[in-house]
Amino acid sequence: MAQFNELLTVIISTVVPIFIIVGLTGIVGRYRQLDVHTLSRISIYLLSPALILVNISQSGLGPGELSHIVVAAMVVCGAMAIIASLIARRLHYSQALASSFILTAFIMNSVNFGLPYIEFAFGQAGLETAVVFTVGQVFMAYLVGTYVASRGRSSVGTAVRNVLTIPMPYAFALGLWLNATGRSLPSPVLQACEVLARGIIPVTLVVLGLQLSHAQLRGRWRSLLVAAVTRFGVGTAVAMGIAFLFGFQGLTRQVFIMEASMPAGVLSGVLSTEFGGDPEFAAATILVTTLGSTLYLSGLLLVLT
């Protein structure tokens, strides 16, 4: 009974606030036209870089540890992509289904869902590590994800262009330099970045709500079950192994594993639609894993803490 009460407390304090905002967004989206693409681009090109720049430049973590977290996040994504490819081949998935399955396996929702969850669960200190994780994850999502989705159709050039036009790596590099040298941004620039950074949590939750409101389940429960087990179970196991290899301890280890265990990322559906895949499967997987994360992440949080 005590464990159930503890689990319920975790759900109420971390997951319920997220789903309230997501649910309200879905309701408003049904009656008023909201442009999810504009909000998503604001998040990618303004809010996320500002958050990364502020957190990295002022982080109590050293440049070496910051770099290790980014590299470790990239390794997690790469390992998950390889494992998912082997599973898809073993189950004889079609090329379109296999592409979307692989995308949902290694592109986790570390931003729209992960950042709010980590902030609710661990506070500002945990959010700093989560932001660093997203840099490596987003880089791999665009680079490898575009290739997986397009399967050879000008994928390398497209992936490189996507990566070069995303400002997050540049914000990370600048923040890392500021952190290492002890320098700081000019006061007006820093204040502007701090204002933008504070908007990332509500905006990303609104984007998530709008995107999930268009997802539909169409009776593909076997494939969806495999996708959920891969995203959660395999994702957590891989993250634990890599956290051990990189020597992560304490809060860094907890946040790293939690971020790697987030539900399937919305970008997997975007890439499936844009470059060729099974976007309906991707959208259904995003919805199922987001709903399933209520219990899974709360239980994992109890285990890690």
Per the model's pLDDT, the better-predicted residue between 15 and 87 turns out to be: 87
Helices (H), the chain: 2-10, 16-31, 36-42, 48-57, 63-90, 95-106, 114-150, 155-165, 168-181, 187-197, 200-212, 221-229, 235-245, 250-260, 266-275, 279-304
215 φ/ψ sector (left φ>0, alpha ψ -120 to 50, else beta): beta
Which residue, among 82, 201, 185, 189, has the nearest Cα to 130 in the 3D structure?
201
Report the pLDDT value the prediction gives residue 298, as an integer from 0 to 100: 86
- pLDDT tens-place string over residues 233-243: 999 999 999 99
What b/e string do you get for 237-270 counting C-beta neighbours within 10 Å, with b at 16 or more?
A: ebbbebbeebebeebbbbbbbbbbbbbbbbbbbb
Q: What is the CATH number of domain 72-155+200-304?
A: 1.20.1530.20
Measured CA distances, 109 to 100, 172, 259, 277, 289 (Å): 15, 19, 8, 19, 10
Report the pLDDT value the prediction gives residue 214, as an integer from 0 to 100: 67
Report the pLDDT value the prediction gives residue 236, as an integer from 0 to 100: 96
Spatial separation of the C-alpha atoms in residues 185 and 177, rounded to whole Å: 11
Q: Which of 76-80, 169-173, 221-225, 266-270 has the lowest mean pLDDT?
A: 266-270
81 pLDDT higher than 90: yes
203 pLDDT higher than 70: yes
Domains of the chain: which residue ranges?
72-155+200-304
Query: What length does the chain have?
Result: 305
- Encode 22-69 in three state secondary structure: HHHHHHHHHHCCCCHHHHHHHHHHHHHHHHHHHHHHCCCCCHHHHHHH
Average pLDDT over the chain, rounded to an integer: 84
Report the pLDDT value the prediction gives residue 5, as an integer from 0 to 100: 67
**Which residues lie closer than 8 Å to 239 by C-beta, 6 or more apart?**
76, 256, 257, 259, 260, 261
121 pLDDT higher than 50: yes
Report the pLDDT value the prediction gives residue 273, as an integer from 0 to 100: 63
Confidence band, pLDDT 50/70/90 cuts, at residue 133: very high
- pLDDT tens-place string over residues 263-282: 998 778 777 766 667 777 88
152 pLDDT higher than 50: no
Q: What is the mean pLDDT of residues 196-222?
A: 77
- pLDDT tens-place string over residues 9-63: 767 777 788 788 888 888 888 888 887 778 878 887 888 889 888 888 887 777 7
First to last CA, the chain: 19
257 pLDDT higher than 90: yes
* Structure tokens, 56: 């990295």
Q: Cα-flanking dihedrals φ and ψ of residue 264, to 5°? A: -60, 140
Confidence band, pLDDT 50/70/90 cuts, at residue 250: very high
Q: What is the mean pLDDT of residues 107-132?
A: 86
Q: What is the mean pLDDT of residues 157-185?
A: 81
Residue with tokens 């082997």: 86
> Quick check: helix, strand or coil at residue 108?
strand
Spatial separation of the C-alpha atoms in residues 57 and 176, rounded to whole Å: 6
Report the pLDDT value the prediction gives residue 255, as an integer from 0 to 100: 94
Which residue, among 211, 247, 277, has the nearest Cα to 40 in the 3D structure?
211
Report the pLDDT value the prediction gives residue 155, as an integer from 0 to 100: 54
